[in-house]
Chain A
Amino acid sequence: MTKFNWRSFGTGLVVPLVLIALWHTSAALGWVNPHVLPSPLAVVQRWVAYLLPQIPFAEATGSWLAWAVSGELIVDSIGSMVRVVSGFLIGAALALPLGLIMGASPRIYALLNPLAQVLRPIPPIAYIPLAILWFGLGNPPAIFLIAIGAFFPVLINTIAGVRQVDGIYIRAARNLGANQRTMFLRVMLPAAVPYILSGVRIGIGTAFIVVIVSEMIAVNNGLGFRILEAREYFWSDKIIAGMISIGMLGLAIDMGVNKLNNYLLRWHRGLEH
């Protein structure tokens, strides 16, 4: 773990601060219509209101903790996260074994790869009409779309990971007497892990994009739903507050996945942890 670098953190703050100052100035001088672009202060106020519980705390009705997380933002974030995680897990759980088999067996690869290559370029968004036809409204179509978004990056990278395993490891393991099963589980699979994890990272990123879109069409909570709802009411400050929340959640997810990567790949050359 490297020490937190205040200097580079400060450098990174410069451009955002300048942009916010410009934004604030133009809002304060009335250059733009506040309905089109609200002032940063209004956005912050709206964000805080979005975060805090909507009703005052009442001792009788329940625990303090439940009250503290009853704000709309927290409920929305949890809703979006649950969809991302469940959709991603379903997509990855299907892609991983399939990718391992396709990577290891040229015959199965030849059988399935053409289909995968045709389906892969179809953006998950294009499945929206079918998803609604098949699953109606609510969480199921959203999770279906997210699973599709996560499926292909994990699949493609797993196949590549297994196919690129350095021959020297295979020769060494054969020399040590490894049978097919040991070869697969203890040599090919771990050797493919760096590829698989980069697929996971892309897959989670795609899942996060798809969750926002799917919430705009099929469900009535979540961060994507909320910014679309705010548009209906012309609450542009809330739209921006919602977008900032999306950005922060996305960043948190990516940092979490990155931490996991660094742990799982602590044996890997060229990674500092």
Chain B
Amino acid sequence: MSAGHIVVKGVNKIFKTTDNEVVALKDINLDIPQGQFVCLLGPSGCGKSTLLNAAAGFSMPTSGSISADGKLVTGPGPDRGMVFQEYALFPWMTVEENIRFGLEIKGMGKTEMEAIIASLMQKLGLSEFRSRFPKDLSGGMRQRVAIARVLALDSPILLMDEPFGALDALTRRNLQDELLRIWAELGKTVIFVTHSIEEAIYLADRIVVMTYRPGTVKRDILVNLPRLRDPASAEFNTLKRELGQLVMEEQQRHHDFEILAAAVD
């Protein structure tokens, strides 16, 4: 199956408030080939989540278009599975029921469904937690369930909105490795939003650094380091310094902007 090609063309997004307009995204153009792991990197407020939500179909661009495999994105759909930072598991469903939910919506047959659920729980180490409710799971476990729930849809595209942002460093690294393993195995296209430079370098084939207000593409670079990458290596750190410079410039603009806004108040 050759699917998962995303084209972002001339996307602008303007949020209107009562007394002013915020240009969240300005003229974004990206061509993401099938199977590429892309990280959107930038300080908060740079529009990276806005872009992801537009790709997911939760909020439409003011102008421009996003298409997945030639099909224009007009709303959310199971061809673009989303993993949220807040996990967004249904708390009234057990682990198993959460994973099953999307399959039931698809109208899948029972035997096939059971096979998929069993293999996903195996893959993500959830078998022991099958009949637990989300409230009884750690953050890391919850995010595993959320990933399993999205993988069950077998969508060619995975959209991830700072999925590991709320996890401690060890759990985070653990899940990053797991995600890379799954990605290598399934060959899905991934758009991954993060504000962690190290996370972006550790994971991505390609890093898109975004500017703060308006959100534009500041730098679009390919990461040509073999995986698994060593965060202590010289190449890793050269890249980290370079990206750190770019992100800090935007962070500084963010800071100045806030001081300005406070002064106006």
- Determine whether the beta carbon of A176 is less than 8 Å from that of B153: yes
Asked if A182 is an interface residue, CB under 8 A from chain B, the answer is yes
Question: How close is A269's CB to chain B, nearest CB, in angstroms?
Answer: 5
Q: Which of A175, A179, A269 has the most CB of B within 10 A?
A: A175
Say yes or no for B133: interface residue by CB 8 A criterion.
yes
**Option from B77, B86, B94, B135 in Cβ contact (under 8 Å) with A268:** B135
Nearest-Cβ distance from residue A177 to partner chain B, whole angstroms: 4
Partner pick for A175 among B56, B133, B134, CB 8 A cutoff: B56
Q: B92 near A191 (CB under 8 angstroms)? A: yes
**Listed residue (B90, B94, B102) with the most chain A CB atoms within 10 angstroms of its CB:** B90
A231 located at the interface, meaning its Cβ lies under 8 Å from any Cβ of chain B in the complex = no
Contact with B along A164-194 (1 / 0, CB 8 A): 0000110111111111001000110011010
B91 and A176 form a contact (CB under 8 A)? no
- Write out, one digit per residue, whether chain B residues 142-155 have a CB within 8 A of any chain A CB (1) or not (0): 00000001000100
| Structural contact, B91 and A267, CB atoms closer than 8 A | yes
CB distance from A162 to the nearest CB of B (A): 14
Total count of chain A residues near the partner, CB < 8 A? 21
Residues from 81 to 104 in B contacting A, C-beta threshold 8 Å: 81-82, 84, 86, 88-94, 101-102
Please name the residue on chain A nearest to B78 by beta carbon. Answer: A177
> Is A266 among interface residues, defined by CB-CB distance under 8 A?
yes
Instruction: Give me the interface of A with B, judged by CB distance under 8 Å.
Output: 168-169, 171-179, 182, 186-187, 190-191, 193, 266-269
Quick one: given A168-B84, A267-B135, are A176 and B92 in contact (CB under 8 Å)?
Answer: no
Contact residues of A: prevailing secondary structure: helix
A-chain residues with CB within 8 Å of residue B58 when the two chains form the complex: 171, 174
Q: Which residues of A contact B232 (CB under 8 A)?
A: none
A177-B77, A269-B135 as given contacts; A172 in contact with B82, CB under 8 Å: yes
Bound complex: CA of A215 vs CA of B69, how far in Å? 70
Asked if B133 contacts A169 (CB within 8 A), the reply is no
Which residues of chain A have C-beta atoms less than 8 A from B153's C-beta?
176-177
Closest chain B residue to A190, Cβ basis: B92
The residue from A168, A176, A191, A269 contacting B102, defined by CB atoms under 8 A apart? A176
B106 touches A268 (CB 8 A): no
Given A191-B92, A269-B91, CB of A175 within 8 Å of CB of B81: yes
Q: How far is the CB of B253 from chain A (nearest CB, A)?
A: 30
Instruction: Verify B105–A178 contact, CB threshold 8 A.
Output: yes
Closest CB pairs A-B (n = 7) = A172-B88, A177-B78, A176-B102, A267-B133, A190-B92, A174-B76, A175-B82
